[in-house]
Amino acid sequence: MNDFLHKLPEFIGNHVALSALFAVLLVALIVMQLSTLFSKIKELSPTGLTQLINRESPLLIDLSAIAEFEKMHVPGAKHVAMSQFDPEHKELAKARELPVVVMDKDGRGNSVKAAQRLVKAGFGKVYTLGGGVLAWHAAQLPVAKGR
């Protein structure tokens, strides 16, 4: 270990670009982890969602296209088109104290935007389903079809 520490300055001097790239990537990784840690929006795995459903009965909102929702969705999820998603809607505002899980087909679409809107509207427990309904299905959990 002592030999390593003596050769490190020489390595950094000989490989400035590589060392700078390492430092930038390390800082980016730390910033990403800290932002995830302090974010008001938590990402759930399919297993984490199952546990939340069993413990707290969250409101499940699926923002997938209606055709995708009818093919496959998490049982108990309510379909809402993103164009009609309104955190201030009187029905949704009633659930302000409940955990709310927002999902879409693959977890890369509108779920994060909708979750951010919920946090801005004052919802305290906001989650997204990482990987979306496809991750739920890939975990071999039950899916519902139709409306």
Alpha helices in the chain (DSSP H): 2-14, 16-38, 46-56, 66-71, 90-93, 111-120, 132-138
Read off the DSSP letter of residue 77: P
16: Cβ contacts below 8 Å, ≥ 6 apart: none
Contact 49, 74 (CB under 8 A): yes
What is the identity of the amino acid at 35?
A: S
- Residues 8 and 68 both lie in one domain: no
* Same domain as 24, residue 49: no
Residues 94 and 131 reside in one and the same domain = yes
pTM, to two decimals? 0.74
In which domain, by residue range, is 33 found?
2-37
Residue 112 lies in a domain: yes
Tell me whether residue 143 is in a domain.
no
Helix H or strand E segment including 102 = strand 100-103
Q: Is residue 33 located within the same domain as residue 64?
A: no
Report the alpha-carbon angle 93-95-97, nearest 5. Answer: 110
- The mean pLDDT value of the chain amounts to 88
For position 4, what pLDDT does the model report? Answer: 85
| Tally of structural domains, the chain | 2
Q: In the prediction, which pLDDT does 27 show?
A: 93
Q: Could you read off the pLDDT of 34-55 as tens digits, one per residue?
A: 876 777 888 999 999 999 999 9
pLDDT in tens, 94-113: 778 889 999 998 888 788 88
